[in-house]
Each structure stands twice: as structure tokens, then as C-alpha cells.
Amino acid sequence: MKQTELLSPAGDMEAVRAAVMYGADAVYAGGPFLQLRSSRAGFSVESLAEACSLVHACSKKLYVTVNSFAYTDEVSLLGDYASELANIGVDALIVSDLGAIDTIKRNVPSMPVHVSTQANCMNAASAMVYRSLGAERIVLARELSLEEIKKMRRSLPDDLVLEAFVHGAMCMAYSGRCLISSYLTGRSGNRGECTQPCRWKYYLYEENRPGEYFPVEEDGEKSAILSSHDMKMIDHLDEMRDAGIYSFKIEGRMKTGYYCATVTNAYRMALDGCDDREFLNRELEAVSHRPYSTGFYYGEERKNTYNDGEYTQQCRFVGVVRGSEQGMLKVEQRNHFSRGDVLEALSPAGRPVRIEVREMYDEERQSIDSAPHPMQTVLIPSEISLQEGSILRRWDGEERHDNSTEV
């Protein structure tokens, strides 16, 4: 698959490292200003400079989101902010507000601007207006079908790039413009403070029957009537490319480095020619997600699919390999695991390998039975040498081997 970019999210430096290591061509992150996610997913300017150095050393790119709804006094600050980001080497800004785009381009003409999906650009005429303001890329509205994207691409010049989401959570509101959180909690989703009330469980109340609450059910199970599916397009990348999409974007700046590594790796392998659909889809079951769908790309295909709003995950992230020498893996623990567990090691651009934990030791090389303490260092004998940064995980229901040998 030629002429594509795999774009991965990052909410912290661990996710930046994971994205780069596991095959992203570019990473997008939020800074300290107008970044449309909670503050815990925002980088300081100093940490963005560190991220820039890391991705550029690997010949990758870093884009910074400046796509929150902006007030008048905030727009006036964007010129200096864009200059600061340009000085540390940021490759592009992702912006939704018209005034913000104009302010950035007037103050820092050399800074590439990508129009955020929050701008809900759905047609070629709008895209050309953004281009006239200096935008180089359109992140397409989530509501477009592949057929509509094809029509749009045919009406645009080649130098205007199209980007679209390929995987991750979707907002139940039109292009993310939701007011439920603002109304119920005073925290605006359009300002990066969404409390995700669409994931809450609701009851029906009939006005003439005070005090009687009826659960919203389907086949006797609970249902989150506002909760959207998560997107998964790994089986349809050829169609996305043929529609004229250049950049394949993974959602998830609030997700962990483990999520970023696993999903990025799966899509990297698919884009590089892996056609083992069963394997690729299994990889995407290894991360926490709601029921998957193809979003709006095929119209109403998934309109009536049941969604109880619950997140599922078939695999647990248990550790990161921090070194491998003299027959020992040095592992930084992330979740509890024990001697006898069968783990799976995920390394970049390759299929996972099984590791049976026959023995395990602490840093003083004292034998231990389990690793219950967060971030503790554990040594595991292994004939397999793994790259630093490789991930260890355990599938739910995987049998234990009390007298196991490695495979």
C-alpha cells in the first residue's frame, strides 16, 4: 500500500515512544493551550520539544492539536503560541476554528495547518475555502461515507491532503459537537473537559408514574442508548486508500502507551501487506474497546447493531521489556503476573511470541513467585532476546503451566 501515512495519538511520552517504535509515520499530541483533551493528555512546551526531538530522530513527524473551541481573548494569543511551537520544530498544527487558522497563518506563515475533524468539513467547496486560508490538509468529518470522500477527492487539487480516522472511539454527536456534558456537569466536551455522559446508563421515566424507573434493555441486558461504537477499519484499508485518503488516523490521546503500541503495530502490519485478517483482528481485541463498527464509511450498515456501552478487553498488559541479556529479560511490571503464567511478547512489525514464565527473580536475583507491585523490576529467564520496549501481555483464559518450558 503506497502513499499513505499512519498517524498515531499520544497523551504522554510513553505513548510517543510506543507510536514511533511500533510503526507510526507521524504522531499527534496536545500542548498546553486549546488542545481539546483533559489536561492530563496535554504536553508542556518543554515536553513537546522532547517529543519533537524523539520523532525527528526517527524521521517521523509531530503534529500538535490546537482544536478546542476558542474565545476572543484566546485567539489573540495564538500567534505567539504558534511561534513557540514552530521554534521547537513542530511539523503542523491541527486547528478547527476559522479565526484561529487565520491568526496562525498571518503570524507564522510557514507553519503547516491541518483542519481538524471538529470543523466537520464535508465537501470540496468548504475544503477549498480552508485551502485559501493556507490549510494543507483536511481531517475529514466523521459523517462522510467512502463514496462521498471519493467525490470530494476528485474535486480537489492534489496538494490538498485528506486525512480520516481509521480506528478508535467515536463521539455520538455530530463531529463531536456535543453539549450533554456541558448541560449536566458544567464541563464542556468542546473545551476538552467531556465527562462522557453518553457512556452512562439511563432509565426511562413516564411523567404520570412518578418514582417508577424503567431500565433501557435489549434481550434482557443493559444498554447505553447514547453510546457509540468504536471504529475499526483494518479490513478496509484498500478502500480507504482508493477513496483518496492519504493519512490513516488512530484515535486515542487519552489511551495508554500499550494501546498505542498494539493498535499502531496492527495497522502498520496491515499497511505493509499483512493479509492475515484473523491475526490482525485478534490483535485489536487485545486492547480495551466498545463494540466495533465501520462508522459512517458504508452508510447505515451498522445502524441497528446492539451496543451495551461496555468496554471489553481480552488481554492484559503485564510489563515492558527494559533489557535482554545473559538469558534474562528485564521487565518493568505494569499488572500482576506470576510464575507459571503464559505470556505473549509483542515486538514491532512482527507476530507475537509465547513466553512461559518458568522462573522469575527480583533485582537482587532472589526467586519470587509473582510480581504484585506496580512498576517493580522483574527478571525472567528466556532463550528469546527481545527488543527494549517490547510488550508482555497475558490473554484472558490462557492456561497456566506450573512446570512450563518456553516456546
- pLDDT single digits (tens) 101-130: 999 999 999 999 999 998 999 999 999 999
Is 384 within a domain? yes
Is 310 within a domain? no
Same domain, 343 and 367: yes
**Residue finishing a domain among 206, 222, 238:** 222
Q: How many domains does the chain have?
A: 3
Same domain, 371 and 237: no
State residue 54's pLDDT score.
98
Q: Containing domain of residue 212, as a range?
A: 176-222
**320 vs 1 pLDDT, higher one:** 320
pLDDT band at 313 (very low <50, low <70, confident <90, very high): confident
pLDDT band at 194 (very low <50, low <70, confident <90, very high): confident
C-alpha cell at 300: 447505515
| 8 Å CB contact between 287 and 317 | no
| 8 Å CB contact between 28 and 11 | no
pLDDT band at 385 (very low <50, low <70, confident <90, very high): confident
* pTM exceeds 0.85 for this model: yes
Q: Is 274 buried (19+), middle (13-18) or exposed (0-12) by CB count in 10 A?
A: middle
Same domain, 63 and 123: yes
CB atoms within 10 A of CB 168: 19
Backbone angles phi, psi at 123, to 5 degrees: -150, 160
Is 298 within a domain? no
Cell 517490547 belongs to which residue? Answer: 390
Average pLDDT of the chain is 87
**Residue finishing a domain among 239, 259, 293:** 293
Rounded Cα distance, 398 and 407, in Å: 15
Same domain, 185 and 92: no
Is 304 within a domain? no
Same domain, 279 and 371: no
Is 404 within a domain? no
Is 236 within a domain? yes
Same domain, 210 and 242: no
Same domain, 155 and 113: yes
Rounded Cα distance, 274 and 268, in Å: 9
60 in helix, strand or coil? Answer: coil
Same domain, 48 and 188: no
CA 378 to chain centre: 29
CA 367 to chain centre: 38
- pLDDT single digits (tens) 55-66: 999 999 999 999
Question: Looking at residue 368, which CATH number applies to its domain?
Answer: 2.40.30.10
Same domain, 276 and 216: no
Same domain, 105 and 240: yes
CA 403 to chain centre: 38
* Average pLDDT estimate for 5-25: 97
Question: Looking at residue 34, which CATH number applies to its domain?
Answer: 3.20.20.70
Same domain, 90 and 152: yes
Alpha helices, H only, 273-340: 277-283
State residue 401's pLDDT score.
46
Is 406 within a domain? no
Is 76 within a domain? yes
